[in-house]
A and B are shown apart, each in its own frame.
Chain A
């Protein structure tokens, strides 16, 4: 709370004190540009983190509740085996619904590889049955044994084989996005520290004069800290706005084929990037303050 009060007082500023430090073009541009670039990257990292989070949730929730039965049989037996399999599934505890995919649904599944208007009816492709589970789900070993006895052409795929690695991969992507955001914050702090040190070195004479007239280190530091915090805030705001516009301009889920459930923000998640500029200002505040006090200590 005290720190927040000090930050607000800092942003309100002391115009007289600010004037004591002359504006330096190089460090001003460096701070503005690096804050803008880092905020832009942070928006993308945040979007990626949220998208992979949604992906992991969807895969883990939806795929955990479904499985697929594939029936490979000669054309004249296909219909019979499909009906038998559906009947068997309906009487299996833990199965809520068993539904053979329609020709249109199977065509849609194959469309990415074979293109539109594939005559699936004339091709020897297996019939797929979607199984939706309920409660604790079914017993896969028992169901496989029954299928082997009653529907010899049926192969049960409970998705367990590939669901786990996918969920794990999505989780790691999310972790990677968070690590990226941490690195972005550290890089921002490093760049601003560098710029602040350059400004302090360039203004050694100003510091000498201010000390001569009785300025305390915190007073001198404050003039630099306020300037750098405001620059980081302005730069990060510009970068965040650009980043959000870029995310807004990304193709929609449908156009992109639903591969990553949409990389953009959804719903209230659009508010999250708005936290980036104040966070950048906070990082800048601490980085500059640390750099200023250390540098002033060394210059004494």
Chain B
């Protein structure tokens, strides 16, 4: 699905990380953890082609992102659902239209019933007509998750999806992500919330990766 081979990323003269190798196999569940500023968000952006590595190779569904034009990256991005910490919606459009946006831009037509079912799955049926700024933090995260999965992507990347929500809501979001993984989706969650990781490990076989000292390492049992 997504492979990083000896990847480095530098900006502003400083190297954020180097020699990072990672492989996300189909149907696996990963956590990416590490201190703030370690480069978790950057690593995620490399995974869906928003950034290009300064060294090494990033392969998205077998294709080297360095060789891809912007439009080709956009095409591949339709197979990757991304949930941002700050969600990033079009604030002038209702929640339902925001969630359906990936279908719109790809020229596909979803049925109202499918959208209704998806809204029900994330518990936002009553908020479908509201504008994103009217939603609570947890509702926004669930809306972002619904938008990320509407194209039935192969991979779901979530960047601090529980960063702005309380414990109950983070458990609810985690449950949704685990459900997706059980449906065969590959999931990578970047988080510094160790409690979330512990809670997940009791429900799913998850691999935990830690970004520290500019390197990636497999986390042990000390979580």
Contacts and interface: CB of A to CB of B under 8 A. Distances in A.
B90 A206 contact: yes
Given A208-B88, A209-B89, A210-B105, A217 B78 contact: no
B93 A212 contact: no
A250 interface: no
B20 to A, nearest CB: 23
Interface in B44-71: 50, 70-71
B78 A214 contact: yes
Interface stretch (B28-36, B96-104, B178-186, B209-217): B96-104
A16 B104 contact: yes
Contacts of A205: 88
Contacts of A270: none
Interface in B74-111: 74-75, 77-78, 82, 84, 88-90, 92-93, 97, 101-102, 104-106
Interface in A33-70: none
Interface size class of chain B, counting residues whose CB lies under 8 Å from the partner chain? 20 to 34
A211 B90 contact: no
The A interface, classified by DSSP as helix, strand, loop or mixed, is helix
A24 to B, nearest CB: 11
Given A20-B93, A209-B88, A217 B77 contact: no
A213 B101 contact: yes
B40 interface: no
B151 interface: yes
Nearest to B94: A19
Interface in A216-268: 216-219
Given A17-B104, A20-B90, A216 B75 contact: yes
Contacts, number: 58
Nearest to B147: A213
Contacts of B89: 209
Contacts of B147: 213
Given A209-B89, A209-B90, A214-B78, A20 B71 contact: no
B151 to A, nearest CB: 7
A16 B107 CA distance: 10
Given A19-B97, A20-B104, A214 B74 contact: yes
Given A214-B74, A214-B75, A219 B105 contact: yes
On chain A, which size bracket covers the interface?
Answer: 20 to 34
Contacts of B74: 211, 214-217
Interface string A168-208: 00000000000000000000000000000000000001101
A153 to B, nearest CB: 87
Nearest to A211: B74
B51 to A, nearest CB: 10
B101 A210 contact: yes
Which one of B88, B90, B105 has the greatest number of beta carbons of chain A within 10 Å? B105
B93 A19 contact: yes
With a 10 A CB-CB cut-off, give which of A205, A209, A212, A213 has the most chain B CB atoms: A213
Interface in A15-34: 16-17, 19-20, 22
Interface string A122-144: 00000000000000000000000
Nearest to A20: B90
Contacts of A206: 90
B101 A20 contact: yes
Interface in B118-169: 147, 151
A19 B102 CA distance: 14
A216 B97 CA distance: 18
B88 A214 contact: no
B71 A212 contact: no
Nearest to B104: A16
A17 B107 CA distance: 10
Contacts of A209: 88-90, 101
A300 interface: yes
A205 B133 CA distance: 15
Interface of B: 50, 70-71, 74-75, 77-78, 82, 84, 88-90, 92-93, 97, 101-102, 104-106, 147, 151
Given A209-B88, A212-B82, A216-B75, 5 more contacts: A16-B104, A20-B93, A20-B104, A206-B90, A211-B77
13 contacts: A16-B97, A17-B105, A19-B97, A20-B90, A210-B101, A213-B105, A213-B147, A214-B78, A214-B106, A215-B105, A216-B105, A218-B71, A297-B70
